[in-house]
Amino acid sequence: MNDKFYTLPMEKQHTILNAAMHVFSKYEYKKCSTEEIAKKAGISKALLFHYFEGKKDLYLYLYQYALDFFVREMSKTHDYNETDYFKILVNAQMNKMDILRVHPDLMQFLVKFYLEENPEVYDEKNKEFAAILSESSKRFMDRADTSKFKEGIDAEKILNIIVWMADGYMRSRTEKDLENTDRINEEYLEYIEIMRRQCYKEEYLV
């Protein structure tokens, strides 16, 4: 990575990084062309190679950047004293939305990176993401209180349903939808509320 990249205005940096994330999140490493990234970023391929030493360099830098950004943003507004199961979930989702507003393909890129098997770019770092994800989700949900749940509710399965639901909901939104963040959040909260009303004992549903 060339230090000159940092001297670019933040907006241009993001344009380039987002273009790279977009392409790298679509296919495996080998099928991603630097030409496509450059075109998406609105610059020439030559300039892209001026900022980064090569395709591999860009790819690995991008991963480090994305992972750092993800961890930093997710921790930012997390309240470690909150114990309400659904409030924790909603807060986490809001953080995720904020991330996606800056880097729309960040999550998918991290997943693709995690699944990448090309030996050319494979090292032990590829599995970091899963570890961090499960560790932080454990840490986030650590204080989560399931005692408010009705009898016979399997909290683990409920968490799965909510995660799948959130994923499906986001996937069902088009690129244009995503611009209206408030509308998205509002609608998403309705879905979370459905699950909450089904899971909590009557006394906690005020």
Partner DNA sequence: ATGTCATTGACCGATTCGGTCAATGACATT
Partner DNA sequence: AATGTCATTGACCGAATCGGTCAATGACAT
How many Å apart are CA 41 and CA 85, to the nearest integer?
A: 40
Q: Using CB under 8 A, pick the residue from 128, 169, 173, 189 that binds a second copy.
A: 169
Lookup: tokens for 147: 């005692």
Lookup: tokens for 126: 């590829």
How many Å apart are CA 187 and CA 201, to the nearest integer?
A: 23
Q: Using CB under 8 A, pick the residue from 167, 177, 179, 186 that binds a second copy.
A: 167
Cβ proximity to DNA, 48 vs 99, nearer residue: 48
The upper half-sphere exposure of residue 169, i.e. CA atoms within 13 Å in the direction of its Cβ, equals 18
Lookup: tokens for 8: 């670019």
85 exposed, middle or buried (CB, 10 Å; 0-12, 13-18, 19+)?
buried
Q: Give the position of tokens 């393909």.
A: 105
Q: Which stretch binds a second copy (CB under 8 A): 46-54, 112-120, 139-147, 152-160?
A: 152-160
Nearest distance in Å: CB 69, a second copy:
25
Interaction with DNA in 16-75: which residues (CB under 7 A)?
32-36, 43-47, 49-50, 54-56
Residue whose C-alpha is closest to residue 62's, from 95, 12, 33, 24: 24
Could you tell which of a second copy, DNA, none binds residue 50, using a CB distance below 5 to 8 A set by kind? Answer: DNA
Q: Using CB under 8 A, pick the residue from 75, 118, 134, 198 that binds a second copy.
A: 198
Q: Using CB under 8 A, pick the residue from 12, 31, 76, 183 that binds a second copy.
A: 31
Q: At 115, which amino acid appears?
A: L
Lookup: tokens for 127: 């599995």
Q: Per CB under 8 A, does 165 bind a second copy?
A: yes
Q: Per CB under 7 A, does 122 bind DNA?
A: no
Lookup: tokens for 139: 């840490």
Q: Per CB under 8 A, does 180 bind a second copy?
A: no
Contact between 28 and 112 under an 8 Å Cβ cutoff? The reply is yes
Q: Using CB under 8 A, pick the residue from 11, 182, 190, 203 that binds a second copy.
A: 190
Which residues form the interface with a second copy (CB under 8 A)?
26-27, 31, 153-154, 157-158, 160-161, 163-165, 167-169, 171-172, 190-191, 194-195, 198-199
Which residues form the interface with DNA (CB under 7 A)?
4, 7-8, 32-36, 43-47, 49-50, 54-56
